[in-house]
């Protein structure tokens, strides 16, 4: 199987390069070779590679910056996936794409299922939803995996930000009224590979029959503040730090350009039922990440 992989310098894309290697020939493309803001660039690369599967973790993920760059966010998160889907369909290929908990408004009190109606409250969420809808409307066999609070040991994420701030500040204030599930980028990549490894027939037929929209996050739930507490409780490598006080605050006390959902837990039962796969509890996973960092 020939796999075209985008976003290879990002958190999930980097991990996918390794996880997908056993499933076929992975052709990684960075933004240097495929400009996601240029549909013709996307079409040219796909037509040249002629993949059996396009895996697209690439995204515009600067949530606050998207509020002032809606056109750029739309081109990368909304239009680019649509172009990929069109080219995949033309080639008889399939597609895997990643989306976000931010497609929801955060008013639920129980984890969102794939049947719940999206209602994004910021530009990032709106553009990611546009990408989902575009892929589905093209009619290509696909797998859309919504995940949440992605972190790891590279790129820009909450874990690395906390580690950096702890070296620089005696006091850190963290929001305690947003609830979600921190999800390791490597776990996302490994689950993706495990799903694909179940294909008895070719990937096109497999995703035509078992594909669609799925929620993929770590199990359990927490707040950003509790996530930070857990990071500092287990982050042995960074014990030599300035941090003295971790202070819980409300979202109102930490205004941002983009509104965040107060509650964005995703129900992963469909993933478990259809593929028999579950990511362990977020606390256990975090300890694995920090152990890998030591």
Q: What is the pLDDT of residues 7-39, one digit of tens each?
A: 999 999 999 999 999 999 999 998 889 999 999
206: closest CA among 24, 84, 44, 29? 24
102 is known as an active-site residue = no
Rounded mean pLDDT of 170-194? 97
Tens-place pLDDT, residues 248-294: 999 999 999 999 999 999 999 999 999 999 999 999 999 999 988 76
Homologous superfamily assigned to 2-157+182-220+264-280: NAD(P)-binding Rossmann-like Domain (3.40.50.720)
- Phi, psi dihedral angles at 196 (to 5 degrees): -65, -30
Confidence of residue 234 (pLDDT cuts 50, 70, 90): confident
**pLDDT value, residue 37:** 96
- Radius of gyration (Cα) for the chain, nearest Å? 19
Rounded mean pLDDT of 83-96? 98
Domain ranges in the chain?
2-157+182-220+264-280
**Exactly one of 98, 102, 112, 124 is catalytic; which is it?**
124
Confidence of residue 238 (pLDDT cuts 50, 70, 90): low
Check whether 200 has a pLDDT greater than 90: no
**pLDDT value, residue 173:** 97
Rounded mean pLDDT of 187-195? 97
> What three-state secondary structure class fits 126?
helix
Computed over every residue of the chain, the mean pLDDT equals 95
Could you tell me if 122 and 259 are in contact, meaning their C-beta atoms sit under 8 angstroms apart? Answer: yes
């Amino acid at each position: 199987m020939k796999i075209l992989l985008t976003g290879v310098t990002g958190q999930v894309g980097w991990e996918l390069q390794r996880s997908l290697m056993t499933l076929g020939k992975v052709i990684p493309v960075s933004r240097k070779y495929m400009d996601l803001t240029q549909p013709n660039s996307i079409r040219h690369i796909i037509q040249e590679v002629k993949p059996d599967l396009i895996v697209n973790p690439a995204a515009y993920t600067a949530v606050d910056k998207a509020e002032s760059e809606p056109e750029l966010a739309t081109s990368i998160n909304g239009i680019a996936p649509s172009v990929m889907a069109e080219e995949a369909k033309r080639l008889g290929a399939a597609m895997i794409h990643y989306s976000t908990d931010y497609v929801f408004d955060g008013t639920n009190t129980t984890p969102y299922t794939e049947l719940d109606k999206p209602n994004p409250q910021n530009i990032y969420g709106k553009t990611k939803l546009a990408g989902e809808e575009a892929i589905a409307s093209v009619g290509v066999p696909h797998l859309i995996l919504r995940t949440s609070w992605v972190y790891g040991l590279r790129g820009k994420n909450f874990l690395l930000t906390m580690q950096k701030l702890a070296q620089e500040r005696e006091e850190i204030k963290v929001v305690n009224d947003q609830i979600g599930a921190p999800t390791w980028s490597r776990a996302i990549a490994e689950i993706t590979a495990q799903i694909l490894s179940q294909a008895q027939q070719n990937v096109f037929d497999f995703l035509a029959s078992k594909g669609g929209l799925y929620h993929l996050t770590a199990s359990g739930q927490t707040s950003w503040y509790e996530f930070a507490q857990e990071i500092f409780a287990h982050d042995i490598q960074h014990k030599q730090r300035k941090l003295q006080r971790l202070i819980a605050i409300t979202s109102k006390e930490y205004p941002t350009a983009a509104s965040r959902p107060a509650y964005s837990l995703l129900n992963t039962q469909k993933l478990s039922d259809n593929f028999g796969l579950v990511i362990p509890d977020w606390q256990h996973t975090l300890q694995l990440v920090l152990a890998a960092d030591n």
